[in-house]
Structure 1
Amino acid sequence: MKHDRTLTDATALTFPDFLEWAKESGEGRYTIYEIEKVAGRLDLTDEELDLIPADLGYFERVVAASPYGAVSRSNDLETARNRGNSRIRSALERFLLARGHVSPDSAARAGYNQAIAFIADHEGFLDRGALFTTNTHRPFLLVRARAQLALPDLDQEEFDRLWHDATPDGRKSLRKFAQRIAELRRGHNRWPELANLLPRQDFVVPIATDRARRIEWQSLPAPFRADAEEIFRQTLRQPADLRKWAKEQLALGRPAVEVDAEIAARVGKKKRTPKNIDSALAGYRQATTWLLRESYSPESAFAGLGTLRDLFTTDALEAACDAQIARSASAVTLKNADESSTLWSRFTNLTTIARHGLRDPEILAQINLVRMFNADYVLSPIEMTADAETICNRLRKSPHLAAAFVNAPARLSAISSERLGPASADFARERALRLSACAAAYAVQVSRALRPANLFMTRRKAVKKCPRNLTWIVDGEHAEIRFSGGEVKNGETLVVNVLGDDAKVLWQWDRVDRPKLMKLRGIDTSPYLFPGTAAPRLRKSALNLPSGCMSVAAIMELWDLGDRQLGLGLTPHQCRHALATLMLAVRPGDFANVASVLANTEKVARRHYGKDSGEAAAVAVRESLLAQHPDIFARMKRRT
């Protein structure tokens, strides 16, 4: 989140103004409590509340989406957060209206109410005579709550505003709303009751402004791609290729000293060749399209784009860096430029291409200089400690969150079982089964936190040239998940043992709930523990990874569904930071053990978690955790 860099001027309304108004105007005490909780939700102090603008768009993007577990211990955190958000949202609308801001009136909402009521009354099974499928009306609810225009007057400009202010979940609803409007407008003769209630135009879903314009590699001119691919091939020349080339040159009569010197020049200071050629190629292509994005507009169709060598200019490099930094500064959903490794990744790939592919000292010097100009924003992944510090501090300040993390598998599994029993609609059953999948993912993460790429590519069944990862040593009691070196980022073999209660959760998903979800979603077969219909984004060159996995978007939706119940605000990768913090609470200063469990080096573990040598983590977390869960450290020791 980027609430810490919100800039306000002397006239801007902030949350202290909002809170003061709420108290003076007699808002309900529970509403005031929720406003006061916002600082805790965003990890700010009460004195820092003035960093939060009293703006509905900012509230929806940042505050409403923030984790709730730090300020509530409710048994149903999702309902508690939704209720709290609703109280703040309604009060904020009243506050802004009192300060002269435009707000939708009851007359403007009347059209939405009529349309929603008509659609909801005629939803059901189409083959049984219903006019609309179940939940057709749901996207209208969000638009009714946020729009400043009546439904018939809704236009593209207002739709764009709603899109800009929406969360990722909200944008999904808006996309469905645009589809529903188009369908209803086309079928207006079938539903005359809706004809006068609908907008007068269809809506175009805007391209996301917080992400760079995507350039498909195949959209580039064929001659340019051919030139670039040849340079990439030279960059990735393997030892076998060099040996073959050297023999050919000697056979042509070239002196051995010249051939040897050229090989040395081509290899340079390269310590090792990439293990995953496909991943390396993808990185080179991304860096290339990143470099040309600011030099060519979409309308130009890349006219005048010659060779890859021509693309490397100081102006192009600086323009790409400036655009990346500006994009990060303007978007709430992106990391700060000085907390992201994007520029490091781009420069690393471009340097490799220049040194080993183009072999051009002048281009290499240009890259090095521009890299130096932007040194404050070129941060390698090993230097990125801010994310780890944030998670560790959150657990130290709120030990009940640490307990929620350790008990997450059982908690999510119990909620899944509770909701699956009475669920009659497919939507409700699917949601309950997805909670079981998230519980299984947590069962693995609290046992030995994996990198997300490994966690969600776990295979329960072998396919041709691709072994399984999951083996049940004892049914329902002990699962072993094994990854070969070729599947792990640092090339080391990795083994996860899931035992006890966590193994029961994993077994429930693997053998009971997973088949139900596959049947519900129409997935015939999949070797993956978490099945889907997507293909792996970056296939491992040493493995024949099949299709049938979850897409990145589906993974994040699944994880978000679980986090709403837990209120932790963790991503799958951040579970690694959480586990490290708890391990240091068990064994202060034992960075070697942390490194071993996370499959990192001790140097990296110390950099991320060693600011206080681990003693502070132990002091801050230990007593409170023991008071709430006396067996927690015994459980953690079994995991390590």
Structure 2
Amino acid sequence: MTERTLRIETLLDVYLLLPELYSESSAKAYESSFGRIERLTGRRLSQISADVVEWEQLAAEIVWAGEFTRARTPEARQRAFDGFVGRVSAAIRRARERATPRTAAACADAAATWERVARYVAAAENTYDAQGKALLPNKASLSIENLRARLGRVPPMSIDTAGAVAALAHIPPNKVDSYRRSIRFFNRLIAERGTHSAIASLLPARPIGPLPTQRDPAMDWTRCTAEFQADLERVISRALRAPRRPDQFGGRLGSDPVANRRRETGGRKRPIRNKDARAKAFRRALSWLARHAFPEREPVLGLASIMDLLTEDNVEAAVERFLDRSATAISLKDAKKTTSLTTWLSDLGTIAERNGAGEALVWAIEDMRLDLGEESDATREMSASREAFVKLVDRDPAVVRAIVTGPRVLLAEARRLLGRKNLTTHQRTEALHLFMAATMLAIQLARPLRTRNVHEMLSEGDMPELVPPRRERASAWLDIGRGRVKNRKPLEGRIPDWLWAVISAWIDEGRPAWRDRATVKDAAAADMSDIGAGQARTCDDANGAPRHCANHHLFPALSGPGAVSRQLINKAWNRGMARLGLTGLTPHMMRHVAATLYLAKNPGDYAVVAALLADSLRTVETFYARGEGRAAMDLFAEVLTELDPTLNLKGVA
């Protein structure tokens, strides 16, 4: 018994076949989903290819705001959209299976065989034999279900390398890894058929061969000159050494083994624990550069040093070729939606920086990486902190007033507590923590910063990041150099007067009071966590008591030249937010608060917000122009209209 061969080329062909694929009630639900496609994409069904990969790529670009209104919460609306996309994908797969000529008996036999294998694997996973050896690992049944979904048209014993490779061509790029893992598990079943006698007759006679990959062979460095190979080892060795803290006395005090050991370990941003893995990563990055900058590879063999390879022109050429390759190969993910390219560029930047390359090369590599990162999946999707912020505002719109008025409220509370007589050490510490929280909140409202920049902010010294007004009627200024910002983009801008009043109060009143905790007893009783790791008491007097020393940080440590610890910053912030009733508001979340504040006062000015957050314009528009981001902005706007007009909120973000 044979079936006629159907031609499935567009979604219109799938739509016309729905009554034959599903029951009457199910067909109506699928027809409704197909009816949405033309409205959401602006294209006719006959213009869209009946290909699962192309459909899911098209669905990723759909703006579905205003749809799925029956769902009450943002999470439910997201699930409804995902269900809509999944139904269309399932209909495409079923239609293609329907178009494949086969006998009904063969189809039923394949389904029954897969069911037997699936039942056995589900029962055997996480079980042990008489010797205590695990029969099958955890979640082994998921691998079988994955294979049944991809290869269920044929019985398991008929699967071969050609069939597995053919199925690989129709799998979306983000599902390829799970498919390869499932094939590896299936090969394990075949190799251990003696252990699984219940399904031994249902498995193929031989393992499935290796599936092809899109990765080209790595660079063979042994073909290069001996001089180049020696330089490669030196470059990687230097790249593995994290930056050291310089000796502030220039060696004038002589050699001190303890001090030297502290300098070598205390100055690292993050210790390299697995140097072999990092060395391999650096080699992979250089191999990627050589293969893409020189597709023929032959010019690399004549180079004398790594720095001849690691140039701005070569890196730029490699990036362009890699992007072109990902755009033309349908089985590859878009390079701007993955982290592989940004990882290679990050490693190349580390190699260049630690081998004494000029700032122009280091910054050029960083700029290339950041330009790609602005369009990555992680940036385009709503982050966890943004989602938490939207939930916070949705639950209680009054939090807007609490946030905006928070710096003045906390400042007044800190002054009230410090004005009391006979304060205990705990009460004084709590008041100073509230003072810190008021200052941090004011800074984040003035300009959205990452927590590290607030924590390590400099208010004095040769290069202060907080610049006070230089004359009457002038404004305070925020000026953070490129070298102290994560994405290497300088941050500068005016600080509104009503926020500078809070920040300057900490500098004039709170900071001296914090530094006046001059006895070891007070420091230990209040909170010794402000002494950061690796910070020695270089400012103690002859009797061992801490004394004042030059410290230009806005939040200085009680001893030593550094800032207070991150633990103390978090403790002070949490105390302040608890006092305001804003439990759950994190410092990083204030980036989204400031952006929403600005848009509430200046609707539609997304370009300014993109500059403030160092995000792409597309990212800002995607979140704040519609959906939950727009709802939060509207809530802010409603509350701002009711706030005290003396706040002078113009340009608050």
What TM-score bracket applies, with the shorter chain setting the length?
Answer: 0.3 to 0.5
Structure number with higher relative contact order (C-alpha < 8 Å, ≥ 6 residues apart): 1
Normalised TM-score (structure 1): 0.46
TM-score, normalising length: structure 2: 0.45
